[in-house]
A = this chain, B = another copy of it.
């Protein structure tokens, strides 16, 4: 099947399939005489694996590791479990960071009259930094995912 079919069947966009191939995450696809990429059911299966791992928040690098483990029938499940646990920890860390932000902001919003008057504890707080430094977690733009 062509890349469009594979995309539909796997849930990975054609663009991303090409990207994954280019970066070596997945094998180079076979080509037809005229240069079209050709995909087997097995290829689609692999792409679905990638898609699901991505949905679980793994980075492409981690997914490469997972794919290697998946293909290695002699793997030790301990390795996989370790990766999963490490990832869960990263997720939880990020969650607490976001929760701190949300809690701070929610508290400020609660303190704000939200009417026609200009007085606003939210702005005052941001300006003076009365709340504890909400640590890291920048580059948040990536979170406002287009797909959300």
Contacts and interface: CB of A to CB of B under 8 A. Distances in A.
Interface of A: 45, 48-49, 52-60, 66, 69-70, 72-78, 80-82, 84-85, 87-88, 90-95, 97-99, 101-102, 104-106, 108-109, 112-120, 122-123, 125-127, 129, 133-145, 147-148
Q: Is the interface of A mostly helix, strand, loop or mixed?
A: helix
5 closest residue pairs by CB, A with B: A142-B142, A81-B114, A136-B147, A77-B120, A55-B134
B129 A52 contact: yes
A84 B57 contact: no
A121 to B, nearest CB: 8
Contact of A78 (B49, B97, B116, B133): B116
